Amino acid sequence: FGLLHTHKTSEEDAVQRLLASVVYCDENVLALNKPPGLPSQDGAGTRYSVDSLSDRLLLELKRQGRIGRGVERAKIVHRIDQDASGVMVLGLNQRCTDTLNAMFKQRTVHKEYYAIAVGGPAARHEQLPFTGEVDIPLVEGTLPSGQFRMRCISKIRRGDDSPTDQSEERRVGRNGAITRYETLATGIDCCVLRLTLVTGRRHQARVHLAQGLGWPVLGDHKFWHLKQIKPQVLPTPLLSALGLTQQQARHLPLHLHART
């Protein structure tokens, strides 16, 4: 369906977009493919979100007979970045919500992302393996502009250097973040990656790719540059392959999709 512009799209149209994005529902759980541009929850400057639209979405599902009349509320149990697309799971009763919350807290949920990244093993970082692990703590830092943004503060673990005999809990501290990656394909100044998030820190996949590996997600205008938030600058060969000018590339959406 493409990018959902919340400042241009009415709430009614957004509900219809969500209705068309439902991939599974029963009396206990609802799964939907969140479009990029739509926040998971309300926050400063947001008009609406998956959470705030969930009551109207349930009403539409009841009208279509896809869920029973007894379902009263859909509750968010995890979040996906506003700019990313991907499957979100919502609990439809307290028992299911509590179970899902416990699963996410205990890290028993498999969190996987697919991304198109600028760069890759066949480009500037040939010394990196096609599969590996980024084990770099994340903290919130302040940019020279005064804006706050997550950033990396340590090192990369990769290939056979990754410890496999330690529990994830022992390896991960308060700021710890671990992302495993696999290169599925390479192209002109870009690659397709499958990412497994061992932890679930805020913006983890985007920061680890941009700052940990030096392969920012295509369309990531927030994290591609180390010291500024500004439109992403793409290599000329990639612009040619996409048939875009640099001016047009500043409007590219984030090419990051979550599977849970």
Active-site residues: which are they?
81
Strands 85-91 and 256-259, how do they pair?
A: parallel
Q: Give the residue from 235, 181, 242 showing the smallest Cα distance to 212.
A: 181
Strand, helix or coil at 42? coil
For residues 220 and 139, give the distance between their C-alpha atoms in angstroms, rounded to a whole number. Answer: 19
| Contacts of residue 226, Cβ cutoff 8 Å, sequence gap at least 6 | 211
User: Residue 191's beta-bridge partner residues?
Assistant: 117, 186
Q: Is 92 exposed, middle or buried (0-12, 13-18, 19+ CB in 10 A)?
A: buried
The token duo for 154 is 């340590």
- Whether residue 80 contacts residue 35, with contact meaning beta carbons closer than 8 Å, is answered with no
State how far the Cα of 9 lies from the Cα of 171, in Å rounded to an integer: 43
Candidates 136, 183, 192, 138; CA nearest to 162 is 136
Q: How far is CA 165 from CA 9, 155, 168, 223, in A?
A: 50, 19, 9, 33
Helix (H) or strand (E) run with residue 137 in it: none
One-letter amino acid at 99 equals T
Torsion of CA 61, 62, 65, 68, to 10 degrees: 120
